[in-house]
Amino acid sequence: MAAFVNGEELAVTLAPVAVYWVYAGMYELLLARTTVLDRYRLHSRRDEETKNIASRKDVVRGVLLQQAIQVAISVAVLKLEGHGATANDTDGGLAPPADEEPLLVVAARFGVAMLVLDAWQYFMHRLMHSVPCMYRRFHSWHHRVAAPYAYAAQYGHPVDGVLTETLSGAAAYLASGMHPRAAAAFFVFATVKGVDDHCGVAAPWNPLHAAFRNNAAYHDVHHQRGGGRRNFSQPFFVVWDRLLGTHAPYDLRQRHGGGLEVKAFDKDRQMHQ
């Protein structure tokens, strides 16, 4: 592999994978070995055992398969796009090295990437729910985890993973014109955000939950029974849900027995059962 992939390309493709397991592992360790997050859990351990159809072993295998496909496609995109023949070669790329660009330019590229990623994922995600055969054959895999937890964030059918996750990342990378080093940072950030959205914990002091309305509680609405018609947006903003009428507000309430529960409302502010 080293003969064909340089260091920058390895960073873009492997850094998000490594961060995924490290960050998700932190949640798992804190939940398994401490009680610090228990008061903010959206699902009890009993819920995870009874509501989730996919076993944890199935989830690990599914995520690893998805990540292997993602890495292969990412390398292919980088090669076709022309970045990274050498560490200093930028003639074939869309942008000069990240450390040669003004900070505002790098930030603008990040913004473009976030918008493109969000738009692609919203419409593809909604399509997966709108076309019955696509939901049954592909996207229903992800909803086998009805009580989400951190390392199930990327669990799903490989076809769904490619169409929704991998291609959205490729589109964001190409549209923004980011250098691979900036892209590595962006995809690490998007990975952390995706894990946070599925972590099953709504801690008020989590900066990502505070900064983005699209967070673990927001996405939990989508995973609830009947939630497949609401809150499709991921991973950053909620703008498409608001514009296209699929946004469902919610309340966080104390759950009997400890933790929190998400109660979603319809447009008339009536509680969903």
In-domain check, residue 88: no
Distances (CA, A) of 36 to 46, 90, 147, 203: 18, 47, 19, 10
In-domain check, residue 6: no
In-domain check, residue 94: no
- pTM over 0.85? The answer is yes
Task: Return per-residue pLDDT of the chain as tens, 273 residues.
Answer: 444 556 677 777 899 999 999 999 999 999 999 999 999 999 988 888 899 999 999 999 999 999 999 999 888 887 777 654 443 444 444 455 555 789 999 999 999 999 999 999 999 999 999 999 999 999 999 999 999 999 999 999 999 999 999 999 999 999 999 988 899 999 999 999 999 999 999 998 999 988 999 999 999 999 998 878 999 999 999 999 999 999 999 999 998 878 999 998 765 454 444
The contacts of residue 59 (CB under 8 Å, 6+ apart) are 145, 151, 152, 155
CA–CA distance, 203 with 252 (Å, rounded to integer): 11
Distances (CA, A) of 11 to 2, 71, 132, 169, 237: 12, 11, 38, 15, 26
CA–CA distance, 178 with 189 (Å, rounded to integer): 14
Count of beta carbons in the 10 Å neighbourhood of residue 36: 10
Task: Render pLDDT for 140-165 as a digit per residue (tens, 0 to 9).
Answer: 999 999 999 999 999 999 999 999 99
Query: Which residue do the tokens 């076993």 mark?
Result: 55
Q: Which of 264, 260, 273 is nearest to 44 (CA)?
A: 260
In-domain check, residue 93: no
In-domain check, residue 4: no
In-domain check, residue 89: no
Total number of domains in the chain: 1
In-domain check, residue 214: yes
In-domain check, residue 235: yes
Sign for the pseudo-dihedral over CA of 180, 186, 189, 190: negative
Q: Is 215 helix (H, G, I), strand (E, B) or coil?
A: coil
User: In the numeric block, which tokens belong to residue 98?
Assistant: 């990240």
User: In the numeric block, which tokens belong to residue 72?
Assistant: 């292969």
The separation between CA 254 and the C-alpha centre of its own chain, rounded to angstroms, equals 26
Q: What is the mean pLDDT of the chain?
A: 88
Domain that holds residue 181: 11-83+100-269
Residues 245/258, Cβ–Cβ less than 8 Å:
no
The contacts of residue 4 (CB under 8 Å, 6+ apart) are 75
Task: Render pLDDT for 90-146 as a digit per residue (tens, 0 to 9).
Answer: 444 445 555 578 999 999 999 999 999 999 999 999 999 999 999 999 999 999 999
